[in-house]
């Protein structure tokens, strides 16, 4: 097999620039530790080849494209036991990783946000993640509170990870070139083992806060039926993107307190 055809329905844009691939691996391997590695969507194996050459960590790849799997086996000699032929969004990570692991990948752009929500589900295991995604999503994840691009993903990711924008990548280094600029970002698990609030309610509070971005918390939080004297607080006149993770923890505890009364 000489070539793998990029498939639009899988959101495939194969990285062809080896220098960019090396920069991604360099960002990933800094303070990596010894935990196993999972590469999401290896495609034609540009990152896989460097991981095999440069990193001593045990690693697996997850790929649902059978053509890519055959290519990785034939061209890189990747053994079957290192290949997970499943959908990452439905992966039971306990089956393959008993403890912590790290993630690297050029993520399919059509499901990149969903991948981060899946990572959040496995946040007690995923220690580090370095990936390439569309710049719009990268900016949303790495922006600080008060940033206009802040959203649900911003707050949920930053509650559990330290985030870093590594560098931007132009379209021409891919086959086929995407219509957008890409970015490489790194997530490193922070020291928050558990939030100081009900975590399920925390997720709900954040999603409700961003339900209508132009509205203030006072409008978006009507569903929680908080007393008038509570929503008269200045914080409820703000929009969700101006708040910090700490603010949302406080709000979650406030909502929890009044839901139990």
What CATH number has the domain bearing residue 151? 3.40.50.150
pLDDT of residue 146: 67
- Integer CA distances (angstroms), 243 to 151, 152, 250, in order: 10, 11, 11
> Would you give the DSSP letter of residue 94?
G
Q: Write out the residue range of the structural domain in which residue 236 sits.
A: 199-259
Q: List all residues 6 or more positions away from 190 whose beta carbon is below 8 Å from its beta carbon.
A: 160, 161, 162
Mean pLDDT of the chain: 93
β-bridge pairing 174-175 and 14-15 = antiparallel
Chosen domain end from 163, 189, 215? 189
| Residue-wise pLDDT tens digits, 118-172 | 999 999 999 999 999 999 999 999 998 767 788 999 999 999 999 999 999 999 9
The pTM of this model reads: 0.93
Chosen domain end from 189, 216, 232? 189
The SS3 assignment for 234 reads helix
The number of distinct structural domains making up the chain is: 2
| Residue-wise pLDDT tens digits, 185-211 | 999 999 998 999 999 999 999 999 999
Mean pLDDT, residues 167-185: 95
Nearest to 202 by CA among 148, 234, 250, 151: 250
- Integer CA distances (angstroms), 78 to 65, 82, 97, in order: 15, 7, 19
pLDDT of residue 33: 87
Are 257 and 202 a contacting pair, CB within 8 Å?
no
- Integer CA distances (angstroms), 118 to 90, 109, 115, 121, 250, in order: 8, 15, 5, 5, 25
> Are 123 and 48 in the same domain?
yes
CA pair distance 3, 82, nearest whole angstrom: 21
pLDDT of residue 60: 98
β-bridge pairing 161-169 and 182-189 = antiparallel
pLDDT of residue 261: 53
pLDDT of residue 10: 86
**CATH classification at residue 245:** 1.10.8.100
pLDDT of residue 198: 95
Q: H/E element holding 7?
A: none
| Residue-wise pLDDT tens digits, 77-130 | 999 999 999 999 999 999 999 899 999 999 998 899 999 999 999 999 999 999
| Residue 234 burial by Cβ neighbours in a 10 Å radius (0-12, 13-18, 19+) | exposed
């Amino acid at each position: 097999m000489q070539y793998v055809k990029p498939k639009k329905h899988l959101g495939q844009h194969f990285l062809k620039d080896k220098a960019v691939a090396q920069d991604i691996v360099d960002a990933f391997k800094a303070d990596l530790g010894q935990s196993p590695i999972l590469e999401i969507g290896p495609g034609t194996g540009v990152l896989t080849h460097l991981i095999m050459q440069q990193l001593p960590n045990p690693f697996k790849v997850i790929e649902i494209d059978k053509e890519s799997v055959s290519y990785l086996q034939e061209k890189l000699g990747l053994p079957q036991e290192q290949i997970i032929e499943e959908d990452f969004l439905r992966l039971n990570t306990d089956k393959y990783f008993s403890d912590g692991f790290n993630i690297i990948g050029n993520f399919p752009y059509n499901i990149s946000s969903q991948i981060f929500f899946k990572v959040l589900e496995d946040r007690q295991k995923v220690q580090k993640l370095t990936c390439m995604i569309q710049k719009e999503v990268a900016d949303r994840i790495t922006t600080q509170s008060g940033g206009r691009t802040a959203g649900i993903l911003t707050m949920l990711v930053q509650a559990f990870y330290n985030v870093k924008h590594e560098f931007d990548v132009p379209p021409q280094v891919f086959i086929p070139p995407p219509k957008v600029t890409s970015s490489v970002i790194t997530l490193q698990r922070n020291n928050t083992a558990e939030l100081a609030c009900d975590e399920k309610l925390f997720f709900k509070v954040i999603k409700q806060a961003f339900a209508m971005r132009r509205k203030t918390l006072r409008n978006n939080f009507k569903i929680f039926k908080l007393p008038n004297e509570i929503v008269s607080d200045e914080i409820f006149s703000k929009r969700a993107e101006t708040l910090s993770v700490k603010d949302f923890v406080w709000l979650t505890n406030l909502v929890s307190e009044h839901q139990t009364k």
